[in-house]
């Protein structure tokens, strides 16, 4: 059994007869009243995100997990196929197990959390940044740069990301996977 002081991003806990992964948390100590922890939890079975508040010192049941490195192979409808980089076993996961499936490129290496009790995969942790190529974007309008102007761009994976006006088709850009936002253009 763990307590609220053990809550961290990525922790898997058993709550309301389901397994949830902590996406965000904030320890709050108000001037008046007891401290508490405000969390955002994502169900690893349904993908549903809920907000929950735990009082300080509340006992939570954590789920023991192992992390393994897998390589993303290919999509098949709503199913994504991965290969373990150590023993080359393949597993298939549904789309809702991934945080940002639209940013996943074939050959990308990810970390998969596996429940030690029943060896079931729980969730996929993407790398913090991915580098993707822009396949389509409108040309920037000259003189439209009074503020941080952006335009939508379609990536090689089909994802749409807002990018600065100077980005053109064929450019490779770095994208932050947590927020799905543009970071910088990558020079080759």
Per-residue pLDDT tens digits for 103-158: 888 888 998 888 888 888 877 888 888 889 999 888 876 666 666 778 888 988 88
Residues 6+ apart with CB under 8 A from 174: 129, 130, 131, 182, 183, 184, 185, 186
Q: Which residues contact 21 (CB under 8 A, 6 or more apart)?
A: 10, 11, 12, 41, 42, 44, 113, 122, 123
pLDDT band with cut points at 50, 70 and 90 for residue 71: very high
Question: CA 26 to CA 38: how far, in whole Å?
Answer: 5
What's the rounded Cα separation, in Å, for the pair 104 and 63? 26
The answer to whether 162 and 153 are in contact (CB under 8 A) is: yes
φ, ψ for residue 180 (rounded to 5)?
Answer: 70, 35
pLDDT for res 145: 60
Contact predicate 6/62, CB 8 Å: yes
Cβ neighbours around 23 below 10 Å, total: 15
Domains of the chain: 2-62 (2.30.30.30), 65-125 (2.40.50.140), 129-186 (2.40.50.140)
Joined together, the tokens standing for residue 106 give 């074939």
Q: What is the pLDDT of the chain when averaged over all its residues? A: 85
How far is Cα 188 from Cα 46, in angstroms, rounded to an integer? Answer: 40
Residues 7-37: tens digit of each pLDDT: 888 888 888 888 888 888 999 888 888 889 9
Q: How long a stretch of residues is the chain? A: 188
């Amino acid at each position: 059994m763990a307590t609220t002081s053990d809550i961290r991003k990525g922790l898997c806990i058993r709550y309301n007869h389901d397994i949830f992964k902590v996406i965000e948390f904030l320890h709050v100590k108000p001037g008046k009243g007891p401290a508490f922890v405000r969390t955002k939890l994502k169900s690893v079975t349904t993908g549903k995100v809920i907000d929950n508040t735990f009082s300080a010192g509340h006992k939570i049941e954590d789920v023991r997990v192992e992390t393994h490195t897998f390589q993303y192979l290919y999509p098949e409808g709503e199913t994504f196929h991965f290969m373990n980089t150590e023993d080359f076993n393949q597993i298939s996961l549904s789309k809702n197990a991934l945080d940002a499936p639209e940013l996943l490129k074939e050959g990308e290496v990810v970390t998969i959390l596996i429940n030690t009790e029943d060896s079931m995969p729980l969730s996929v942790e993407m790398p913090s940044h991915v580098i993707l190529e822009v396949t389509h974007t409108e040309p920037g309008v000259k003189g439209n740069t009074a503020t941080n102007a952006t335009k939508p761009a379609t990536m090689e994976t089909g994802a749409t990301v807002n990018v600065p006006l100077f980005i053109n088709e064929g450019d490779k850009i770095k994208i932050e996977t947590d927020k799905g936002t543009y970071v910088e253009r990558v020079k080759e």
